[in-house]
Amino acid sequence: MMNFDLSDDQLAIRDAVQAICDDFGPDYWLERDRDGVWPTEFCDAIAKGGWFGVTMPKEQGGSGLGISAAAMVMRTIGKLGSAAVSSIHLNMFGPQPVVVFGTEEQKARMLRPLIAGKDRACFGVTEPNVGSDTTRVKTFARRTADGYVVTGQKVWTSTAQQANKILLVARTTPIEECARPMDGVTLFYTDLDRSSVRIREIEKMARKAVDSNELFIDGLHVPLADRIGEEGKGFKYLLHGLNPERILVAASVLGAAEAALMSAAAYAKERVVFGRPIGQNQAIQHPLAECWMRLQSAELLMWKAAALYDAGKPCGLEATSAKYLAAECHFESSLRAVRTHGGFGFAKEYHVERGFRESVLSLLAPVTQELALCYVAEQALGMPKSY
């Protein structure tokens, strides 16, 4: 018989993280949505609780737990919204290539400050004319006597305004000189030196407190000691991190979907129109019931993907499908929460309009819904590769 109960450890993680989240209610995040101020107090509380290090090695001050534990952290924080998730996401997940492929010296030097919250990392991968085809990045790292000099451009680099470190993807061999497009890509974790990197914030529809940016890199010096793994093998290192990222994104947006659904259900029970609560009407009941079903099905697949990853088994299909289903559930539940609130759903003070704006992001990142479908069609159904 399969056991669908959460373990005692998972419940303990949920309760401990929830105790932190309780100090940062909807009004706090509404203010951050209005003023765009970085949620320093929240990030400090997460760092103080030790949650940045949940999957990091114990030798470096982490907890040494698996993706299932990190998923519980992210699912709990997800109920606060995408600004909360995005403010801590890179510190929790970003250094995973260092954990797996870094040297012992690099782990000690790079991970400890991240776990303590002293360093803040951003992720320099996406480029303006490349999108999801990471093998085609144009940013180039030229080898020098003591390291590399990097020139290029990145876009949608979150938290770069706050970060002092960057996990950077660059070519070290031109693609036309490589046997395969995935060859010749190298991964670095280094200082975000603002004397060589110009950062321009992108104004966007939601998540105002967590910046997204364009980066213009001109002659950034990267020491040889800041290269992760072998030169030219960086794309393989990135692939290793795709599945846990999709699992954690799925977990966080499921938390957001649950928050939207519970808000809608509570309002439907108390809002009286024509002498009866609107939740008594099937036009309100049925869509919310369907959202609940979608939430349950996506959550089961998310936990399955996490369990497979922690067991060292293939989980690409499950992780990608969980992200897809969670994003659809997040968007539909957030839209339904606005519609259930009626005119008040359009008002910021009820918080659901902010959740709806934020839900659009989960349809686009870290992989689009369309590309997720292409991957599943190829891997699960044996259809010809379309990308």
The answer as to whether 223 is a domain residue is yes
Pick from 159, 269, 281, 284: nearest CA to 209:
159
Which pLDDT score is estimated for 30? Answer: 98
The helix (H) or strand (E) run that includes residue 188 is strand 185-191
Tell me, yes or no, whether 266 and 314 share the same domain.
yes
Check residue 321 and give its pLDDT. Answer: 98
CATH code for the domain in which residue 245 is found:
1.20.140.10
What is the reported pLDDT for 21? 98
pLDDT of the residue at 131: 77
- Tell me: do 283 and 374 sit in the same domain: yes
Residue with tokens 């144009």: 138
248 Cβ contact list (under 8 Å, min separation 6): 67, 70, 71, 74, 89, 92, 93
Any idea what the CATH number is for the domain that residue 193 is in?
Answer: 2.40.110.10
Q: Is 85 left (phi over 0), alpha (psi -120 to 50) or beta?
A: alpha
Residue 3 placed within a domain = no
What CATH number is associated with residue 82?
Answer: 1.10.540.10
pTM across the whole model: 0.95
Rounded Cα gap, residues 372 and 387, in angstroms: 11
Same domain, 192 and 243: no
Query: Is residue 89 domain-shared with residue 128, that is, in the same domain?
Result: no
Largest CA distance in the chain: 79
- Specify the DSSP class assigned to residue 233: B
Cα-trace Rg, the chain: 21
Looking at 232, 255, 278, which one is the last position of a domain? Answer: 232
Mind giving me the DSSP string for 311-379? TT---HHHHHHHHHHHHHHHHHHHHHHHHHHGGGGGSGGGSHHHHHHHHTGGGTSSS-HHHHHHHHHHH
Are residues 98 and 37 part of one domain? yes
Residue 2 lies in a domain: no
Assign 18 to helix, strand or coil: helix
Same domain, 161 and 288: no
Q: Quick count: other Cβ atoms within 10 Å of Cβ 18?
A: 12
> Would 387 be classed as within a structural domain?
no
- Output the six-digit token pair for 330: 């997040």
Domain-embedded: residue 351? yes
Residues 44 and 153 occupy one common structural domain? no
Range(s) of the domain holding residue 128 = 121-232
3-state secondary structure of 383: coil
Do 244 and 220 sit in the same domain of this protein?
no
Examine the domain organization and report whether 251 and 371 are in the same domain.
Answer: yes
| Positions of the chain with pLDDT under 50 | none
My answer on whether 252 and 323 are in the same domain is: yes
Residue 248 is assigned to a structural domain of this protein = yes
Dihedral of the alpha carbons of 99, 104, 106, 111, in degrees to the nearest 10: 50
Domain count, the chain: 3
pLDDT at 320: 98
Helix 282-310 to helix 67-78 angle (10° resolution) is 150
Domain boundary among the residues 89, 116, 143 is at 116
Q: Each residue of 13-69: pLDDT tens digit? A: 999 999 999 999 999 999 999 999 999 999 999 999 999 999 999 999 999 999 999
The residue out of 94, 116, 138 marking a domain boundary is 116
**Tokens coding 106:** 């690099």
Residues 213 and 243 in one domain: no
* Spatial separation of the C-alpha atoms in residues 226 and 57, rounded to whole Å: 19
Residue 307 lies in a domain: yes
Q: Are residues 293 and 373 both part of a single domain? A: yes
pLDDT of residue 2: 78
Q: Roughly what angle, to the nearest 10 degrees, separates helices 234-270 and 352-359?
A: 150
Token pair, residue 308, equals 């497979």
The single residue listed with the structure tokens 């499908």 is: 321
